[in-house]
Amino acid sequence: MTPPWYPPPPSARPGPGAVRPASFGARFAARVIDYTLLAILSFVFFIAASFIASAANPAGFHADLSDPYYDAWAYLVFFGWGVTLFFYDWLFHVGTGRTVGKMVLSLRVVRTADGGPLTQGQAIGRAALFGLPQTVCCIGQAFTLVDCLAGLSEDGGRVGATLHDRASRTTVVRT
């Protein structure tokens, strides 16, 4: 039998400077914002690169581009997404501790030990474990799904500890 839920007494409630872990919903919403932004930027890059390739083609804009050109774009779409996510997460987290989605929702990634900013190694490890598996079609997305759904469990009282957070010893908090 589980004990009934009661609100914590006033002495146990976090004060104004206390660290509050981010909810799964807030983290999910931040990822949706980040994915949308990355998809838009990738699409704009794809269109711009296509126009440049067409303009550089001696036959002009109306000539067919070669099959290797389209094959290269297909490989980038299927296998480049994970690399894009890796660099996006790594650069934002090492620089500011937050991606654009986390900025919008007032979230930040901090070290679990002391609540300080991420080290270079933590940012790289976190980004690699989250983004790089997605370069492997289907298996990588399944791994990322399991990784993120682990955020619904509790890890020693830490709610929302995804696998990439546990491995890099980081926590997402509300600011």
Give the pLDDT confidence score for residue 75 in this predicted structure. Answer: 77
Predicted local distance difference test score (pLDDT) of residue 123: 94
- Beta carbons within 10 angstroms of residue 108's beta carbon: 20
Length of the chain: 175
Question: How high is the pLDDT of residue 29?
Answer: 95
Tell me what pLDDT residue 30 has: 94
Distance between CA 135 and CA 84 in Å, rounded? 9
Return the pLDDT at 121. 93
Return the H-helix or E-strand segment holding 113: none
Question: Residue ranges of the chain with pLDDT lower than 70?
Answer: 1-19, 57-69, 154-160
Cβ neighbourhood burial of 3 (10 Å; 0-12, 13-18, 19+): exposed
What pLDDT is recorded for position 110? Answer: 93
Structural tokens at position 67: 């099959």
Q: Give the pLDDT of residue 151.
A: 79
Using the 8-state DSSP alphabet, how is residue 26 labeled?
A: H
Distance between CA 22 and CA 128 in Å, rounded? Answer: 21
